[in-house]
Homo-oligomer: A and B are copies of this chain.
Amino acid sequence: MGIETVITELTSFLGQRLSRSKSDLELHGQSETHFPLMPPDAVAYPENTQEVAEIVRICARNQVPVIGWGVGTSLEGQAQAPSGGICVDFVRMNRIRKIRQADMDVTVEPGVTREALNEELRATGLFFPVDPGANATLGGMASTRASGTTTVRYGGMRQNVLALEVVTADGEIIRTGSRARKTSSGYDLTGLFIGAEGTLGLITELTLRLQGQPEAVASAVCAFPSIKHAVAAVIDTIQMGIPMARIELVDVATVQAVNAYSGSELAEAPHLLLEFHGSDSGVAEQSQSFGEIAESHGGAGFDWATKAEDRNALWAMRHNAYHAIKATRPGAQVLVTDVCVPISKLADVIEETLADIENAGIYAPLVGHVGDGNFHTSMMWEKGDDDQLATIEAASHRMVERALANGGTATGEHGVGLGKKRYMDREHGPGWAVMGAIKQALDPDNIMNPGKLVPPRN
């Protein structure tokens, strides 16, 4: 094991920016999940691409693992270090390099968070639309192929990254894509690194597509008699071509939690929360069209708001849903699982999942980006109650199996990490071995985030 050599060499050029403090190792060995601590041997804080390349070259020579780190908001243990090694924390690479208004693109370092970017863009009339909820870094969002509430309109990271700079497993710096809006020039390496979770290289720069801030924004909320009615309304809305910017489902348990947390008085029924972007008359028309669709599916209490304060209250409620849910069981732990299915299967899969959860005696509010067929459960248990955890893990497993059996995917937006690796074979069949062959070709010594995503080496 060359870890001591690596630490000596890294210290010689990073100095204080290589940390072995216990608190740093623990912080970078944690995750948002229930996995045990898996700390790296050291944490490096590079300030530029050349330093990242040098870190990787040193690790490559000594066959020591390299794991990237944004702000640690990934949900499947993607950035934990099960084999130790060097964690590369991008917090010091957080510069916005260039905003190009005419081209509606921006070049950023990987440690920039999406909120910091949008704050910087505010005065330009542009914004970056991908919103996974957490204030993640853009490098992390690309690496996990994040998406979120606005994906139904603007796409996720895969659709919104034009170009990357990547340090590969041998410490070489490559560029993928360009600032041209489209290309047919060679293999889509940009797409390959997006969602690779750092197993093929470290992203050191991103060029992102931006959107114009809409002239008008309206929000709406509507209660439905059942999940089936709500999803039927979503399907009609999409078929009609109404360009919703967000269309979110919250189930009864989430509504109860939100009412208790925010003091809102939503009816205890499944709700859809929507946002419309466009011109003044455009959002009015969209809202009205949706209102008619909702009514035809038993929607009640439909209300829409263009005033910023009303909209903000509505979306604060949605964004706080996770906190509201946690507040119902102070001190409890949460296992968050996400799956995604064809939208025609969505109502059945959600209803079966809710019935299963109820039968198992689990408390697990459900929210969904229903325009994409994607939903999450937050299954809760008391810390230390291993039986309850086992019950929850079994229910989470059945939820994934149910999604796969219905033509869906084991994860719509949270990624594979450690938590979903067991489903890769089932979901991809021989395609998983193709992923393994690509990994073997680009990282023959298996130093880039080893133990994640691809099949184990023989």
A434 within 8 A of B: yes
Smallest CB gap from A279: residue in B: B285
CA distance A242 to B104 in the complex (A): 14
Q: Which of A60-68, A179-187, A354-362 contacts B (4 or more CB under 8 A)?
A: A179-187
8 Å CB contact of A429 from B100, B175, B184, B277: B175
CA distance A442 to B212 in the complex (A): 41
**Known pairs A103-B344, A281-B281, A441-B438; A430 contacts B174 (CB<8 A):** yes
CA distance A211 to B238 in the complex (A): 9
CB distance from A295 to the nearest CB of B (A): 18
Smallest CB gap from A372: residue in B: B181
A415 within 8 A of B: yes
Quick check: B189 and A431 within 8 Å, CB to CB?
yes
CB distance from A202 to the nearest CB of B (A): 14
A379 within 8 A of B: no
Q: Which of A150-158, A313-321, A384-392 contacts B (4 or more CB under 8 A)?
A: A150-158
A228 within 8 A of B: no
Residues facing B in A139-165 (CB within 8 A) are 144-147, 151, 155-156, 158-159
Query: Within the oligomer, what is the number of copies of this chain?
Result: 2
Quick check: B441 and A407 within 8 Å, CB to CB?
no
Quick one: which of A144, A215, A241, A416 has the most chain B CB within 10 A? A241
Q: Which of A9-17, A23-31, A88-96, A192-200 contacts B (4 or more CB under 8 A)?
A: A192-200
Quick check: B441 and A440 within 8 Å, CB to CB?
yes
CB distance from A99 to the nearest CB of B (A): 12
Residues on B with C-beta less than 8 A from A407 are: 178-180
Q: List 13 A-B contacts (CB under 8 A).
A: A103-B342, A104-B239, A145-B183, A145-B184, A179-B407, A180-B374, A181-B372, A182-B412, A184-B416, A186-B431, A189-B434, A192-B438, A437-B441
Known interface pairs A147-B182, A180-B412, A212-B241; 7 further A-B residue pairs with C-beta atoms within 8 A, sorted by A's residue number? A180-B403, A180-B408, A182-B340, A185-B428, A189-B431, A243-B243, A279-B289
10 tightest CB-CB pairs across the interface, nearest first? Answer: A441-B441, A191-B191, A102-B344, A183-B409, A180-B340, A212-B241, A184-B415, A179-B342, A174-B431, A145-B184
